[in-house]
Amino acid sequence: MLRRLRRMDPYPVFLCLVMTGMWLVLDLITGKSFFGPSPYHSYTLQAVSWLHGHTWVENNEILELAIYEGRYYVSFPPLPSVVLLPFAAVFGMNTPDNLLIKVYACAAVLFLYRALRNISFRRADAALWSFLAIFSSSLLPLTLEGAVWYQAQALALMLATGAIYLMTADRMTWALLLYALSVAARPFDAVMFIPIITVWVYINAKGQVSARDMAARLAPGFALGLTVALAIGIYNYVRFRNPLEFGHNYLPEFSFQGGVQFSLSHIENNAKTFIWGLPFDLSGDGLVLKRFGFSFLIACPALTVMLVSFAADLFRKRMDALRLVTLFAFLIHFFLLLLHRTFGGYQFGARYCVDLLPYAFLYRLLQRETSKTPVWEWIFLGAGLAFSIYGSVAILL
């Protein structure tokens, strides 16, 4: 037992303690509850409705609910309600939303740590990079309250990061399942299939694995993923008679108030804010933090690191097909997000760009020849964490 304890990796425990301490301090400052329910509890409302045998929910004026044939429905992909179902059975409407979203973020950090260890990062470097890359972003303020919008994003980030970790461990059946589940929380995560499958196929082809053997190893994961997609499609059809309709098109703002959910016309304004926008406005009282978003380059430093690394790889002639595919998928996903009318609405930073963080993680894993993190990257990510902590407090006070 003592030999096992000496061989045990202490860093995951240390990371959990650091994250818990950080959240306790932030909750104390902002007045948020570490465990409690969120008033924006659409997913719990849906889970309770399932327990009563129906898919429609009772109307709640503070929630974004779709209206279809005179009934109200949760207009977001349903996976978070599946997670909440056992909690709703025990706690009713008082599910521990604020705790669950922290668990999702914590698991994402641990998954990323294990992925970095699998490509020979030193323990200390892997732990620090995982913590900084995830929390020096717009994710941190989301973890303080398990509201409906934030739960889906944090859960999807955890699942996508878990899929990347399992891919590095060559456990593609479970990797593809987690990937499919992430799409069931954030549909645009479907784009991540491109780099995940490309990287795995390339590594195995380089290892002289035949196409037939690769297909046989991928088949169970594909079957599980298609099962998830089929379940989501059936649920959507039961509610809206359309397997691709989650309910957003039946929100009042889009169904009869004249708004358009996705449009090329939204790109210009979103680009001004979330590519070029600065985080502060100048007022009579000095600099004031913008509460409706700013550039993802500042809000999610890991994505900036990815883009700088891409430029450096081009300059140093280290570019390869895998890095190009990863960046290409990132750009497709980002473009799809820019089509959205609000890009997340009221927020610190660029909330929707949290969905893009797995591309930065994957790109870092592809840089095997530069596993030692440069000093500028540590400084940049560290400054990003300090700014995210400040923003998490400022946006709530």
Q: What is the pLDDT of residue 258?
A: 63
Task: Give a yes or no: residue 178 inside a domain.
Answer: yes
**Alpha helix stretches (DSSP H) within the chain:** 2-7, 11-30, 42-51, 79-91, 97-118, 123-135, 139-142, 148-168, 172-183, 193-206, 211-240, 252-255, 267-274, 296-299, 301-315, 321-338, 357-366, 375-394
Range of the structural domain that residue 245 is part of: 8-394
In a domain, 155, yes or no: yes
- Please indicate, yes or no, if residue 1 is contained in any of the structural domains: no
Residue 57 makes CB contacts below 8 A (sequence gap 6+) with: 42, 45, 46, 48, 49, 65, 72, 73, 74
Return the pLDDT at 132: 98
351 belongs to a structural domain: yes
31: left (phi over 0), alpha (psi -120 to 50) or beta: left
Stretches where the chain sits below pLDDT 70 are 2, 5-6, 255-258, 368-371
Per the domain annotation, does 386 fall within a domain?
Answer: yes
Instruction: Return the pLDDT at 181.
Output: 97
In a domain, 3, yes or no: no
Pairwise CA distance, residues 155 & 82, whole Å: 11
Residue 117 pLDDT: 92
Has residue 2 been placed in a domain?
no
Q: Return the pLDDT at 286.
A: 75
DSSP 8-state secondary structure symbol assigned to residue 129: H
Q: What is the pTM assigned to this prediction?
A: 0.94
**Res 98: pLDDT:** 96
Please report the pLDDT score of residue 369 as a whole number: 60
Q: What is the pLDDT of residue 371?
A: 63
Domain count, the chain: 1
Specify the pLDDT at position 194. 94
Does residue 34 belong to any structural domain of this protein? yes
pLDDT of residue 148: 93
